[in-house]
Structure formats: structure tokens, C-alpha cells
Amino acid sequence: MAASNSAQDQLEEDCFVPSHHPSAPSDELFDISTAVDPSYVISLIRKLLPVAQKSGGNTEILGSNCIDEIVNSSNDNCKRMEIVDDSTESVFRGEGEGDLREGESSGLSAGEEVWEECGCVLWDLAANQTHAELMVQNFILDVLLANLMATQSVRVTEICLGILGNLACHEVPMKHIVSTNGLIAVIVDQLFLDDTQSLCEVFRLLSSGLQGPECIKWAEELQSEHMLSRILWIIENTLNPQLIEKSVGLLSSMLESQKEVEHTLLSALMKLGLASILVNLLAFEMSKLTNDRIPERYPVLDVILRALEALCIIDVYSLEICSNKEFFRLVCDLIKFPDKVEVSTCCVTAGVLIANILSDVPDLASNISLDFPFLEGLFDIFPFTSEDCEARCALWSIIARLLVRVREDEMSTSSLRQIVFILLSKSDVIEDDLFDHQFDENKGFESLATSGRKPNARTLALRRITCILNRWNALRDSSEKDMMEEHVTDEKICRLLGICHKHTV
């Protein structure tokens, strides 16, 4: 079973990850799309073979069961490169890794520097499908597995996982990864590392596995409570934005994967507190957004919202998450966030989430029916949904639910004035959306009908706008004093009424 084009395209995008190493070739000096001599790739793989120290000062090449094949697969013109063989100490030392993580390379031996440079080149080469397939044909997976099982160096581990992560972006190498005995289990075991960069690569690799056609095998390795608890612990306790993004991205891959994966993993995750952990993460990121405005954290907010959106549409668990009042408050606050350009994707997702929540818990609409900044915020999101029919329909669905609860005949003049002002100030947004998307409404409404929302939400909203404006006009006509403010003119009211009438007949 081949992966879908969309899933494969996403994996291809995920391939190009920097190798975080100053010695790695820059884009100007090294183009991964350029054909590479196979003998060069093979020589790089040979240099990655780990060396372990034995008693008596002797050394042993780990993974030597595949070295003969690697050597024999070189063409006759390839000069065989010497494998590092330091009789006094292992090539890969566990000591000093903290210093290495701070960028101090003075403690690296010559052998370690060669290994790291070769590993980073292979990391970059693995992003290219042709190079990746050449690498797996020449036993790169056996070499990486041997390194992961032998090394105590977090840098070596990170590079191995980075190479695997790029290989996993391609269909054929992914099949080889799955079929390599013990490799998935060793990869999953790396979840218990304490190194941030290595963990980011583990989560990226696991996400690729769960997005592919062999996702069940990856899910089976992750399904123990021990493993799932570790994943949630990392998500809940790390302060590193990149690690939060990658770890929550793994949850999204679980939620968006095949039904078998959902059945294998989701029930246990929910019992371990997945819903509350995601809501707590959202609360933390919302506080950061409100107080600090750190652009590096915007992707974290986006991936958390995507995970919550995926959870909301799973029937078994949707009511549990949609009934969470804190969750509802947080996504409503995001709609009211003033600088939407910076987090436009997040705001669009929040709109879809609120539409889903109100579909499951309609009474919550009463709590926000007179929240005027919220209503204004909904209209502000429309310009960011020009290519997303479902998101536009979700926004109209929310607006309709709010406006049907507005009792214009009973509310105070000041409240009615505020609603009228918002509607008139957003009349251009309303007109642009109606004009630009007048022909695709049926498609969007049909997709939303399956999630419980009425297919005529936009029409209902426009009719309610008409009623509210007519009520305002009636109050004006019966009032002795001028109720119209400077920016609320007859021309604007007539124009908006005309727009509404045109699209409701």
C-alpha cells in the first residue's frame, strides 16, 4: 500500500532539516540535488562504522557483519578509506558531551571529528530520494543501528537519528527502516534520552513513521503505557519550543493517522490525561502570546491547536474536550487577539475549533452572544480564509449561532448600537467574502453538514443582520434625538442591507 501523495509531499517537506554543525556543507558549496558518485557515499558510510575498545587495548569494529558488503559494493576505482582505529581509546566517548553541546569542539579527537563531518554530509544527502535509496542499498541502516546501540555520545545519536529522519521521508528507504530487525525498537528507546536535539529528531522520525503506510508497526512499538507516559511527560515538562513543537506534532500524527493507530494509542493516551495536557499547553502558549509576543513560539501554538482540532473531530472523545470551559475560553481569547496577522493560521484554526465546540455544546453560544470584541474578531479572520472554504463556513456558522441569540427588540440601545457599529465597520469584509466565494458555498456547507452544522448558516446570519439593522432604523425613526453617530450613516446601512438581501433571496 503506497502512501498518499499528500502524505508523501508532507514527508518530503519534513526532510530538509539543518544538521546543526558548522562543518556541514553549506547550500552554496554542496547541492544535495546534484548527482553524487556512489563510491563517495559508500566511503562516507564506511567512516561511520563504530569502533569499540576491547580488553588488552584491542579494538573491534561494530557492525562488521556488513563491512564486507559495504567494501565489495564499492567500484574498483574507489580508493578504500581507512577506518579509524585508535588502540588507546574508543572513537566515541561519553565524557564531555555537555561541553560539546555548548559548541566546544576542542575535546573531539580526530576520529570523532571525521565521524561527525561524514555523518552531517550523509544527513544532508539523505534528504534527496536518489541519494537516500543509494544509502540504504549500501547498509547505512545497519551502520546507524550499530552506532545507536554502541555510542554514549548524544551528538552521534542526534546525527544518526537525523539521517534516519531524512531517510524516512522517502517511500523505499522507509520500507527498509521498517524491515530492519530491531531498528524501530531502538529508535523508540531513544525517547528516554535527556538531550533536546536528539529528542527532537526522535519525535520527527516517529511522526514520519506514523504518517506512512507501515504506521501500525510504529504504533505497536509505542503502545505500552511506559512509552506513552514518557511522551506525555516530555510534552508536559519541557520548556524548549522546538521540542514542544516536535512532540505535540507526534501527537497530531497519531490523531491523524489510520484508524488502527487511533485505536491502538488514543484510548491509553486519553486515560493518561492527554486532553488536559493539551489544554494546559494551550494556556501556557496563550499567556506567552499575550505577554511576550515571541515569534519563535507561534509554530508551537499552531501545532497545539492542530492537535486539539484533530482530537475534537473524533466522536468518542469530542464531547470530553469540547465541554472543557477553559479550552473554550482560551480559543475565544485567541479570536479576540488584536494582532492577527502574526498568528493568522492559529486564529483560523481557533475559528474551526469554536464551530466544532458549539456544534457539540450549543448552549455555550449564549455565553458569547453579546461579547462584541469576539464578534468583531470573527469578522477580522475572514481575510485569512480566502483559500479555506471550510474555515469560512465555520466562521459563518459561529456568527449565525451568536446572532440568533441576539434579542434586538429587548436589548438596550447602547448594546444595539455596538452591534450595528461592528456590522457596519465590517461591511467591506462581509461584501468581499460574499462576492469572492458566492459560487463555492454549497461545497463548503456540504462538508460542514457532516459535523452537525446547518448548511444555511451564512444565509441565516445574513437574515439576522438584516433584522438587527431594520430594528436600528426603526428606533432611529421613532426617536426624537439623533441616534446616529458620525460613522453610522444611512448610506452604510442601506448598502449593507442591500448586500444581505442580494445573498439571501
Reported as a single tens digit per residue, the pLDDT across 180-194 is 999 999 999 999 999
d(Cα 368, Cα 4) in Å, to the nearest integer?
A: 41
pLDDT of residue 10: 56
126, 166 Cβ separation under 8 angstroms: yes
pLDDT of residue 57: 45
90: which 3 cell numbers?
574508543
Q: How many residues does the chain have?
A: 505
| Residue 149 amino acid letter | M
Q: Distances from the Cα of 485 to the Cαs of 414, 417, 418, 423, 503, in angstroms?
A: 12, 9, 11, 14, 28
Higher-scoring residue by pLDDT: 86, 236: 236
103 torsion bin: left (phi>0), alpha (psi -120 to 50), beta (else):
left
| Residue 350: half-sphere exposure toward Cβ, Cα within 13 Å | 29
User: What's the whole-model pTM score?
Assistant: 0.82
Q: Which three cell numbers stand for residue 338?
A: 488584536
**How confident is residue 402, by pLDDT bands cut at 50, 70 and 90?**
very high
Longest dimension (CA), the chain: 106
Lowest mean pLDDT among 78-82, 118-122, 249-253, 464-468: 78-82
Q: Give residue 1's pLDDT.
A: 39
Q: What is the pLDDT of residues 322-346, one digit of tens each?
A: 999 999 999 999 999 999 999 999 9
Report yes or no: 436 and 372 within 8 Å, Cβ to Cβ.
no
Q: Residue 138: phi, psi to the nearest 5? A: -110, 35
SS3 61: strand
Helices (H), 138-181: 140-150, 154-167, 171-179
Start-to-end CA span in the chain (Å)? 49
Residue 13's SS3 state is: helix
Instruction: Write out pLDDT tens, residues 261-300.
Output: 888 899 999 999 999 999 999 999 999 999 988 999 999 9
CB neighbourhood size of 184 (10 A): 21
Rounded to whole angstroms, the Cα distance separating 28 from 228 reads 42
Which SS3 state, helix, strand or coil, does residue 140 take? helix
pLDDT for the residue numbered 486: 46
Q: Where are the alpha helices (DSSP H) in 48-128?
A: 67-72, 97-101, 110-125
Instruction: Tell me the average pLDDT across 118-136.
Output: 93
Which pLDDT does position 33 carry in this prediction?
Answer: 57
Buried b (16+ CB within 10 A) or exposed e, 147-172: bbebbebbbbbbbbbbbbbbbbbbbe
Distance, CA of 318 to CA of 452 (rounded, Å) = 13
Decide: 408 and 468 in contact? Cβ < 8 Å. Answer: yes
CA distance 109 to 233: 36
Q: What is the mean pLDDT of residues 389-395?
A: 93
| Integer Cα distance of 469 and 367 in angstroms | 23
Pair 460, 404: CB distance under 8 Å: yes
Residue type at 276? S
Percent of the chain with pLDDT over 70: 75
Indicate the pairing of strand 59-61 with strand 51-53.
antiparallel
Q: What is the pLDDT of residues 129-186, one digit of tens each?
A: 999 999 999 999 999 999 999 988 999 999 999 999 999 999 999 999 999 999 999 9
For the chain, the 3-state helix, strand and coil shares in percent, each to the nearest 5, are 70, 0, 30
Cβ-based burial of 442 (10 A; exposed 0-12, middle 13-18, buried ≥19): exposed
Task: Give bridge partners of residue 53 from the DSSP assignment.
Answer: 59
In degrees and rounded to multiples of 5, residue 132 shows phi and psi of: -65, -45
- Kindly list the distances between the CA atom of residue 182 and the CA atoms of 83, 144, 189, 252, in Å, as whole numbers in the listed order: 25, 12, 11, 25
| Confidence band, pLDDT 50/70/90 cuts, at residue 304 | very high
Reported as a pLDDT band with limits 50, 70 and 90, residue 34 is low
pLDDT value, residue 217: 94
- Computed over every residue of the chain, the mean pLDDT equals 81
Rounded Cα distance between 487 and 392, Å, is 27
How does residue 93 score in pLDDT terms, banded at 50, 70 and 90?
A: very low
Q: Which of 22-26, 33-37, 197-201, 220-224 has the lowest mean pLDDT?
A: 22-26
pLDDT, tens digit (0-9, with 9 covering 90-100), for 189-223: 999 999 999 999 999 999 999 998 999 999 999 99
In whole angstroms, give the CA distance from residue 469 to residue 408.
9
- 44-53, 207-216, 422-431, 433-442: segment of lowest average pLDDT: 433-442
SS3 456: coil
> What pLDDT sits at residue 8?
53
Q: In whole angstroms, what separates CA 12 from the centre of its chain? A: 15
With 60 as the cut, is the pLDDT of residue 104 above it? no
* Residue 262 CB contacts under 8 Å (≥ 6 apart), including other chains: 254, 255, 314
What mean pLDDT do residues 442-457 have?
49
> Is the pLDDT score of 373 beyond 70?
yes
Q: Rounded CA gap, 79 and 103, in Å?
A: 33
- Across 60-64, 208-212, 455-459, 478-482, the highest mean pLDDT is recorded for 208-212
Average pLDDT over residues 433-457: 56
Are the CB atoms for 69 and 139 separated by under 8 Å? yes
Percent of the chain with pLDDT over 90: 60
